[in-house]
Amino acid sequence: EAQVTQNPRYLITVTGKKLTVTCSQNMNHEYMSWYRQDPGLGLRQIYYSMNVEVTDKGDVPEGYKVSRKEKRNFPLILESPSPNQTSLYFCASSLLGLAAYNEQFFGPGTRLTVL
């Protein structure tokens, strides 16, 4: 089944404790992206990647890191999480970057709480 998977689905952690949220897709998509969803703000893009070893900042990259060493995986790293990073996070992927007709496929989301 074609899908985007994320792990963990739920995570409660404390300020400053490094964490990684994994994202994997099995559709051979070049483009992958991370978003955070906050009430009243919709989805905001954190980072995106056009291909292996190519990453770029989205609208809200501060406090996050990503890597793209393999085409299928795009982990999101919080080196020193803070309470303002409490949010619902989504990974997404698509073919051929953001060509006009491409849809993004979303993972199920990771709900992160930073105490």
Partner 1 sequence: GDSVTQMEGPVTLSEEAFLTINCTYTATGYPSLFWYVQYPGEGLQLLLKATKADDKGSNKGFEATYRKETTSFHLEKGSVQVSDSAVYFCALSEAVVNQFYFGTGTSLTVIP
Task: Give me the residues that bind partner 1 (CB under 8 A), please.
Answer: 4, 33, 35, 40-45, 48, 50, 56, 58-59, 90, 92, 97-104, 106-109
Q: Which is nearer to partner 1, 53 or 56 (CB)?
A: 56
- Beta-carbon count within 10 A of 1 CB: 3
Closest CB 99 distance from partner 1, rounded Å:
6
Alpha-carbon distance 61 to 45, whole Å? 8
Closest CB 16 distance from partner 1, rounded Å:
29
Closest CB 48 distance from partner 1, rounded Å:
7
Q: Which is nearer to partner 1, 58 or 63 (CB)?
A: 58
- Number of separate helices (H) and strands (E) present in the chain: 0, 11
For strand 4-7 and strand 54-57, is the pairing parallel, antiparallel, or unpaired?
unpaired
Closest CB 98 distance from partner 1, rounded Å:
5
Alpha-carbon distance 80 to 82, whole Å? 7
Q: Which is nearer to partner 1, 18 or 98 (CB)?
A: 98
Question: What b/e readout covers 44-61, taking b as 16+ CB neighbours within 10 angstroms?
Answer: ebbbbbbeeeebeebebb
Q: Which is nearer to partner 1, 45 or 113 (CB)?
A: 45
